[in-house]
Amino acid sequence: MKVQQDLQTPSSTVVSIGRSTRSLVWTRLRKDKAAILGLILVAIIVGVAIFAPLLARLTGHTPNQLFENMRTELGLPRGPNARFWFGADQVGRDLFVRVMYGARTSLFVAVVGTSLATLIGVVVGLVAGYYRGWLDTVISRGIDVWLSLPLLLFAVGLSTVCSSSLRGCLGGLLQPGLRLVTGIIALFTWPYIARIVRGQVISLREREFVEAARAMGSSDARIMFSELLPNLMAPILVYATLTIPGNILFEAALSFLGVGVPQSTPSWGRMLSDATSGSLFTYAWWMMVYPGLFLLLTTLAFYLIGDGLRDALDPRRAVR
């Protein structure tokens, strides 16, 4: 399963920071109660995402199964009971099962979207910071412009245009559905990473080890990826972690606005959007409370880890 594989990436990047730093960071992180809480919460959410089918089996319902008996004569959903722990949604689907499966959508977007954004951001940031000159000017000015624009609105436009046909945009690269949403998120968040990486590279490139590498005749690519990149792992890890909650909220916002994932894919943002239609939430509070709580806990957990990692990697900040 893709989600499981990609979740391994953050821990494998830690390895390349180097043993001493890693153990140092881990020692500091262990003392940070908030970060530990975040780690536990993320572990729970990941567990929910992986074992969603098993959890669903406990209830005996599938995410898109319709239950006529969970709707009143007027067509309104019925609330939580012994067999439907979180109640039903507007068409009579089991909300508990959908919320569990929703963790998969959020984590998929978080992991794949953030990885893509990090990959693009690191390469662009390295190139801009290493070569400087006009290339750097163009890239950094471009990033400044890009980040000051109403990106959510651009995402709404892009998503509408690309969903107009099943073929999708960019020769099928951005196909409607989860892929489009993930692609959009990567497209809109890489500049944050690029900006951080560029800033770090600018100060690192003047250091002796880079000069030494250059004196030994290393190519630019080698200096960038074997000399500079390992030194950048710490900030990349921190900021990648800190963009995860933003990306999760971005997907939820897009789905809430009705331009995210399709109806059949369980998504917390989509569920909240269902709760709003016709002010259904004033009656069916469960449709609003449960997906929202899971969304909140997930983003909170990633922020806690991100803050903790930042403090652990930069002891000066921890004093603050």
Which residue, 67 or 303, has its beta carbon nearer to another protein? Answer: 303
Using rule CB under 8 A, residue 295 touches another protein: yes
Site for another protein in 214-243 (CB under 8 A): none
Measured between alpha carbons, how far is residue 163 from residues 166, 247, 262 in Å? 7, 20, 10
**Backbone φ, ψ for residue 279 (5° rounding):** 50, 40
Which residue, 12 or 279, has its beta carbon nearer to another protein? Answer: 279
Question: Residues binding another protein: what is the number (CB under 8 A)?
Answer: 48
Using rule CB under 8 A, residue 309 touches another protein: no
Instruction: Please pick, from the candidates 24, 50, 91, 288, the single residue that binds another protein as defined by CB under 8 A.
Output: 288
The residues, any chain, with a CB within 8 Å of residue 246's CB and separated by 6 or more, are: 189
Using rule CB under 8 A, residue 306 touches another protein: no
Which residue, 2 or 320, has its beta carbon nearer to another protein? Answer: 320
Nearest distance in Å: CB 149, another protein: 5
Instruction: Please pick, from the candidates 18, 285, 314, 318, the single residue that binds another protein as defined by CB under 8 A.
Output: 285
Stretch that binds another protein, among 104-112, 128-136, 225-233, 291-299 (CB under 8 A): 291-299
Nearest distance in Å: CB 213, another protein: 31
Using rule CB under 8 A, residue 292 touches another protein: yes
Q: Please, which residues bridge with residue 116 across strands?
A: none
Rounded to an integer, what distance in angstroms lies between the CA atom of residue 266 and that of residue 294?
Answer: 13
Instruction: Please pick, from the candidates 128, 178, 259, 313, the single residue that binds another protein as defined by CB under 8 A.
Output: 259
Using rule CB under 8 A, residue 40 touches another protein: no
Nearest distance in Å: CB 306, another protein: 11
Instruction: Please pick, from the candidates 49, 117, 186, 252, the single residue that binds another protein as defined by CB under 8 A.
Output: 252
Q: Which amino acid is at 47?
A: G
The residues, any chain, with a CB within 8 Å of residue 125's CB and separated by 6 or more, are: 193, 194, 195, 196, 197, 198, 200, 201
Nearest distance in Å: CB 249, another protein: 5
DSSP 109: I
Site for another protein in 138-197 (CB under 8 A): 142, 145, 147-154, 156-158, 160-162, 164-165, 167-170
Torsion of CA 177, 183, 189, 194, to 10 degrees: 170
SS3 state of residue 141: helix
Q: Is the CB of residue 77 less than 8 Å from the CB of residue 290?
A: no
Which residue, 167 or 207, has its beta carbon nearer to another protein? Answer: 167
Instruction: Please pick, from the candidates 3, 46, 76, 249, the single residue that binds another protein as defined by CB under 8 A.
Output: 249
Measured between alpha carbons, how far is residue 1 from residues 108, 241, 273 in Å? 11, 22, 28
SS3 state of residue 78: coil
Q: Is the CB of residue 35 less than 8 Å from the CB of residue 304?
A: yes
The residues, any chain, with a CB within 8 Å of residue 213's CB and separated by 6 or more, are: 222, 223, 227
Instruction: Please pick, from the candidates 100, 244, 304, 305, the single residue that binds another protein as defined by CB under 8 A.
Output: 304
Nearest distance in Å: CB 136, another protein: 15
Burial of residue 141 (CB within 10 Å: 0-12, 13-18, 19+) is: exposed
Binding site for another protein (CB under 8 A): 142, 145, 147-154, 156-158, 160-162, 164-165, 167-170, 245, 249, 252-253, 256-259, 269, 272, 275-276, 279, 281-282, 285, 288-289, 292, 295-296, 299-300, 303-304, 320
